[in-house]
Amino acid sequence: MTTEGRVDSGLEGVVVAESALSRVDGEAGRLIIAGYDVAELAEHASFEQVCALLWEGLPPSAATHESYRVRLAEARVRAFEALPRLAPALAMPDPMDALRASLALISVDEDSVLVQATAVTAATAVFAAARARGGHGLPALAPDPTLDHARDYLRMVRGVDGAPAASALGRYLVTLCDHDMNASTFAARVVTSTGSDMVSAIVAAVGALKGPLHGGAPGPVLDMLDAVAEHGDARGWLEAELAAGRRIMGMGHRVYRVRDPRAAVLEGAIQLLATEPGMRPRLEVGRHVEQAARALLRERSVGRRLEANVEFYTAVLLDAVGLDRRDFTPTFATARVAGWCAHVLEHRRTGRLVRPALRYVGRLPDVAA
């Protein structure tokens, strides 16, 4: 094989798999998840129904919601029973390190791949919630198996599960459930391609999600909104960031050349929270900063449109439902694990070993005279 020619270091536009799970149209700003537009799915489907859709191709219905609600609830209870032996991992200072380390300590080598997917999805929510409580010096709350996944996650984190907040969080979990070949999903598929197990694939995906260019952005977005609110001049603050060589968090995307369609879905979900304290000013600051950032980046990046991505309004929404900014990325993992598991299952059925090439530019051995 020759390694001459173009090096695709970011793999832009390189198609590495066929998938029935999701499709991103970056020019039109459209996201389709297993045949449904993301806005439609977020408004009408539960997280349980999305798991059934992604893992088994079952269309959303009351029956799939109930059967997956029971399965996920039972799996949350089992995951909670594992917490005592995971205590050192969950005590790690960074919540994503804690999630990665705690997931690495479980084993879900059951016969059924659906049982494995359910176990790891439930464990992600339970461990993320336990770490969120631990971060405030509070003991983990046991799952309530009568609740649906989104509501119980919120309750396990906050101790309460108000109806509008639970609905908004449910829409968030559905909106974020899958997004074609993003970096963490690719990591999960690469690990799966070697014949490795489900937990190893999900742990790799959690590691990839942690980075600020992927799932680590929403906490810094909230920091930015706070800083701009304090500074008073959005444009001036953003200009100083760019002058310091920093990127504007929550702006830009590898695939979208227009505004990320999930930003609009999350903005809509935020409307459910109109009565939450502090919500309205935060949303107003968010919209103002988005407009200022967009105008500034348009002036600077001629030829490349940089618009709001999903993380921008993730920050506003998760803050409004009462989550601490340190727990935003573990909450992203709580949603995306549904997609990661679906890609693991799909790659097992259809994929091959992922093994790209590199071009060696190092020293060659001296040729003997």
Which runs of E-coded beta strand occur in the chain?
Answer: 22-25, 30-33, 36-37
- x/- mask, ligand COA, residues 205-234, rule CB under 6 A, reads --------x---x-----------------
> Do strands 36-37 and 22-25 pair parallel, antiparallel, or not at all (unpaired)?
unpaired
Token pair listed for 106: 């479980």
Q: Do residues 129 and 295 make contact, with C-beta atoms less than 8 angstroms apart?
A: no
Q: Does 339 bind ligand COA (CB under 6 A)?
A: no
| Residue 94: count of CB within 10 angstroms of its CB | 14
* Shortest reach from residue 195's CB to ligand COA, in Å: 30
Number of residues that bind ligand COA (CB under 6 A): 18
- Positions annotated as catalytic residues are 253, 311
Token pair listed for 215: 């799932």
Residue nearest to ligand COA (CB): 252
State which of residues 310, 333, 337, 341 lies at the interface with ligand COA (CB under 6 A): 310
Q: Does 252 bind ligand COA (CB under 6 A)?
A: yes
Q: Does 311 bind ligand COA (CB under 6 A)?
A: yes
Write the Ramachandran bin of 137: left for phi over 0, alpha for psi from -120 to 50, otherwise beta: left
Q: Does 262 bind ligand COA (CB under 6 A)?
A: no
Q: Does 247 bind ligand COA (CB under 6 A)?
A: yes
* Shortest reach from residue 279's CB to ligand COA, in Å: 22
* Shortest reach from residue 56's CB to ligand COA, in Å: 28
Radius of gyration (Cα) for the chain, nearest Å? 21
User: What are the backbone dihedrals phi and psi of residue 308, each rounded to the nearest 5 degrees, phi first?
Assistant: -65, 135
Buried b (16+ CB within 10 A) or exposed e, 62-88: eebbeebbebbbebbebbbeebeebee
Residue type, 188: A
Q: Does 291 bind ligand COA (CB under 6 A)?
A: no
Token pair listed for 10: 């970011």
Q: Does 174 bind ligand COA (CB under 6 A)?
A: no
State which of residues 99, 208, 248, 320 lies at the interface with ligand COA (CB under 6 A): 248
Q: Does 250 bind ligand COA (CB under 6 A)?
A: yes
Structure letter (DSSP) for residue 143: P
Using CB under 6 A, list all residues that contact ligand COA: 10, 213, 217, 247-254, 297, 301, 304, 306, 309-311
